[in-house]
Chains A and B, each alone.
Chain A
Amino acid sequence: MTDLSPRDRIVQRAAKELQDGFYVNLGIGMPTLVANHIPPGVDIVLQSENGMLGIGPFPFEGDEDADLINAGKQTITELPGTSYFSSSESFEIIRGGHVDLTIMGAMEVSQEGDLANWMIPKKMVKGMGGGMDLVASAKRVVITMTHTSKSGAPKLLKKCSLPLTSQKCVDRVITEMAVFDIDNGRMTLRETAPGLTVDDIRKVTEAEFEVADKLEVM
């Protein structure tokens, strides 16, 4: 995977997290693009928190249905096997631990796996939506994010400075530069983008991390 834009590198690597038979919730924004890269032979079911299992592709012009939208309020379609249910049932599915994989974005992740992705005090307070429920109860949480902010500040920190979405909930972080795992409050670098060294990663990562014995290329 060379010559990819940062976004494409993140999305294509995140698609490798999908396993056959998984029920998956993709957060709004970059995570939704993961659905365009489902590996061949891998069958998954996408959940929409507003009450649907079996999200299909965006409709062709003229086929859009105002009663059929995803969590980001975009028009979608259904698939054979799709089901609909209420919001309380949708969150029973989420809170009851029935979703195999949750992929969402982040503003900050701490080395212990704390996640901040819902508000910037006094600047952006739009609400948390279903994000807090998803990470509090998910079987597996994978974060997709750029490695640094637009101003170049690290987003992988010792401790989050922004209000938390949840504590110690992140299992894996995928950026355009690296893949980290977080287990029992410890962060491990597992993969680096082609051409990057561990030092390159350390320069832009405030969080403390160990390096895997078998470090791989993304």
Chain B
Amino acid sequence: MNKVVGSAREALVKAGLQDGATIMAGGFGLCGIPENCITAIHDMGIKDLTVISNNCGVDDFGLGILLQTKQVKKMISSYVGENAEFERQYLSGELEVQLVPQGTLAERCRAGGAGIPAFFTPTGYGTVVTEGYETREFDGKMYVMEEWLKADVSIVKAHRGDHSGNLVYRKTARNFNPMMAQAGKITIAEVEELVPIGELEPDHVHTPGVYVQYIFQGTNYEKRIEQLTLTPR
């Protein structure tokens, strides 16, 4: 078994990413984002994408660069405040946006990978975001029904991975990557350190390789910090 490819572009070509596809991109803000795959999608000019990701990067980095080139038709996210171009395209109607509560977004992706078509959550009950949704009472409390989310291609970032696609994440760079790895029909993983099979401690694998179709050694990570906040010495 060898899932290793040479680059983001090679992975995306093999994955058959086309105009109009739905993709999931891991990351929280700029933390744990699949930088190489995002750049490759930008360079390949693939457009009319539906992008499922918690945020949309900033104007000139992360998923924000796909907005600059109008490659995104629809965003499904929980918070898009850090991106002025996003707000502009949203308010002008150029960009379709579905805002989903973060926990619901996480669970919808998990459900997509886990084969659970729908679940009930109390989140958003009685608010504008769940208007028209089916509701049900359990133990005296009201819940709304939410459906799974799946992607044609999921692009995820991990710290270490092996040739069979086993992944280990680092600190808060984990965030949405595991669930999105599960929910992609094809999952591409980019890692900071690609190792041979047998190098990863089995008890320490976060995402078993069964979910991953392609993996490659990432390069030139900028790992930009959005809000550098320090304690004065």
Contacts and interface: CB of A to CB of B under 8 A. Distances in A.
Nearest to B56: A127
B127 A86 contact: no
Mostly helix, strand, loop or mixed at chain B's interface?
Answer: loop
Contact of B123 (A49, A69, A122, A132): A132
Contacts of B123: 95, 132-133, 136-137
Interface in A101-152: 122, 125-133, 136-137
B103 A130 contact: yes
Nearest to B128: A163
Interface in B22-39: 28-32
Mostly helix, strand, loop or mixed at chain A's interface?
Answer: loop
A122 B176 CA distance: 29
Interface size class on chain A is 35 or more
Contact of A69 (B31, B176, B179): B31
A64 B178 CA distance: 24
Contacts of A72: 227
B31 A50 contact: yes
Interface in A13-66: 48-52, 57-61, 64-66
B170 interface: yes
Interface centre among B127, B169, B170 (most CB of A within 10 A): B127
B172 A88 contact: no
B225 to A, nearest CB: 5
Interface in B5-62: 28-32, 54
Nearest to A94: B103
A61 B233 contact: yes
A52 B176 CA distance: 13
A136 B122 contact: yes
Interface of B: 28-32, 54, 77-82, 87, 90-91, 99, 101-104, 106-107, 109-110, 121-129, 159, 169-179, 206, 223-231, 233
